[in-house]
Chain A
Amino acid sequence: MSYKVKLDVFEGPLDLLLYLIKKNEIDIYDIPIAAITEQYLEYLELMRMLDLNIAGEFLVIAATLIHIKSKMLLPPDEKELLPEEEEDPREELVRRLVEYKKFKEVAGILQGLEGQRKKMFTRDIPFEVEPGEVFFEASLFDLIAAFTRVLKDVPKEMFQEIIKDEFTVEQKVHDLLHMLVVTPVICLFELFKNSKNKIEIIATFLAVLELIRLKEIIVAQKKNFSDIEIIRNEKHRLNIE
């Protein structure tokens, strides 16, 4: 199995071209196509060697560059040639580059505005759980690890009898939402504490997963491997209303 990594340094083929133009201190309206094509292909080769996934778009521009290069090498077609205005084969590409460059600059301005805006705090700060504590969303792997831990803690003798459909995921979803109305933050391990058997633990766990999927709750932990806490997703609830 091979792992493909997306190279984020260049957002796309036009970005790579702009980079090469800047690096070589070239006038965008007078690009030495032969030299730039060569460098462009070198970069593609480098990306290929690094086993980076080269998007088709990069190849399209490579083909365009080679096409322009060949056009510039060939003597102009006598029949098509207009005496005064001979069209530069680079024109279309330059037009695209210039247009792209403008939006790239706007993107830079937006980034600046974003930074400034993030320095101003307004009332819509999302996800307000006890300020001062760091939370990050627990991953599925954290949940599974917690689940295995709970299962391990259950005494073996509890698994002797078979109980049929006593606990359903649906019921557990219901219970959990009710509990969250009373207590806004529930510790995941507390949730399993009163479980009578394995089936109830599984039903509870599936209910947690289902509520995460429905974006009704958020699971968070204060630090790696610490207790996982279940919090109502207030933002989602407000969105529904």
Chain B
Amino acid sequence: MEKTQIKNIIEAMLFVSDKPLFLNEIKSVLEGPEADEIKEVIDELAGEFETQGRPLRIKEIAGGYQIATDPVFAPWLKKLYKTAGSDRLSGPGLESLAIIAYKQPVTKPEIEAIRGVNVDGVLKTLIEKNLIKIMGRRETVGRPIIYGTTQEFLQYFGLNSLQELPKLEEFNFTEKDIELPEHLQSNEDAAYGTK
């Protein structure tokens, strides 16, 4: 297959998709080019989108690729879709999400201990919005339910992975009593290096 053709097929796929497309999804459709080849083509395409002054961008979101509009066009698009972007998360919602994102898998009492308030209602809303999910139960006394963030969480905040969140130590505090979950501790340098 010619490179231009691959590029066009990928662009068409991204154009149609209403969720981020993963590299392996694209690969299985194309049946031929290797993943790194495809990635190269997507990067090239993303570059063309920008240099050719097109209003669209290819974003890496939640581990996949998605076409999104350049933020500068937001004022016009908001006129078109008045409902879009109107509801924002509340303060308690954001605080609880922050705790869950860093401490997952985490139990309700652990979130409450940090926030100092009951989080029943907040967790319910976050689950309804599909931003967090029940990951199972912890095998301790009472087998409490444990929560974690979802793919939609990444999509909602335009993150490619949890590693894109700043390290807690970056805040001007010297305390070392906060432990990052394992998957955040590993390959820290690579993950945070981009910022």
Binding site for B on A (CB under 8 A): 8, 11-15, 55, 57, 60-61, 95-96, 98-111, 113-128, 131-132, 134-136
Contact B84 A125 (CB under 8 A): yes
Contact A109 B92 (CB under 8 A): no
A55 to B120, CA, bound (A): 14
Mask for B116-141, Cβ within 8 A of A = 1, else 0? 11100000000000000000000000
A100-B116, A134-B83 known; 8 other A-B pairs, CB under 8 Å?
Answer: A55-B118, A57-B117, A103-B99, A103-B115, A115-B88, A120-B158, A121-B74, A123-B67
The answer to the question of B142 belonging to the interface, with a C-beta cut-off of 8 Å to chain A, is no
Contact B117 A117 (CB under 8 A): no
Residues of the A chain whose Cβ atoms lie less than 8 Å from the Cβ of B88: 111, 114-115, 118
The answer to the question of B47 belonging to the interface, with a C-beta cut-off of 8 Å to chain A, is no
Binding site for A on B (CB under 8 A): 16-19, 57, 59, 66-71, 73-74, 77, 80-85, 88-89, 91-92, 94-95, 97-99, 101-102, 113-118, 156-159, 165-166, 168, 171, 173, 175, 177-178
A126 to B177, CA, bound (A): 42
Contact A113 B74 (CB under 8 A): no
A107 to B116, CA, bound (A): 15
Residues of the A chain whose Cβ atoms lie less than 8 Å from the Cβ of B66: 122-123
Residues of the A chain whose Cβ atoms lie less than 8 Å from the Cβ of B69: 120-122
Q: Given B84, B116, B157, which contacts A114 in the complex, CB threshold below 8 Å? A: B157
A114 to B81, CA, bound (A): 17
A106 to B89, CA, bound (A): 14
* Pairs A–B under 8 Å by Cβ, sample size 10: A13-B117, A57-B117, A102-B171, A103-B98, A106-B166, A107-B95, A116-B71, A118-B84, A122-B69, A123-B66
Contact B68 A122 (CB under 8 A): yes
A231 to B88, CA, bound (A): 24
Contact B114 A103 (CB under 8 A): yes
Q: Given the known A-B contacts A11-B117, A95-B175, A101-B173, are A106 and B98 also in contact in the complex, defined by CB atoms under 8 Å?
A: yes
4 A-B pairs with the lowest CB-CB distances in the bound complex, closest first: A12-B117, A106-B98, A117-B158, A119-B71
Residues of the B chain whose Cβ atoms lie less than 8 Å from the Cβ of A13: 116-117
Q: Given the known A-B contacts A13-B116, A106-B168, A114-B157, are A135 and B83 also in contact in the complex, defined by CB atoms under 8 Å?
A: yes
Q: Given the known A-B contacts A11-B115, A11-B117, A61-B116, are A117 and B98 also in contact in the complex, defined by CB atoms under 8 Å?
A: no
A111 to B77, CA, bound (A): 21
A107 to B, closest residue via Cβ: B94
Contact B95 A99 (CB under 8 A): no
Q: Given A96, A134, A135, which contacts B116 in the complex, CB threshold below 8 Å? A: A96
Residues of the B chain whose Cβ atoms lie less than 8 Å from the Cβ of A102: 168, 171, 173, 178
Residues of the B chain whose Cβ atoms lie less than 8 Å from the Cβ of A109: 98, 165-166
B81 to A, closest residue via Cβ: A125
Contact B71 A131 (CB under 8 A): no
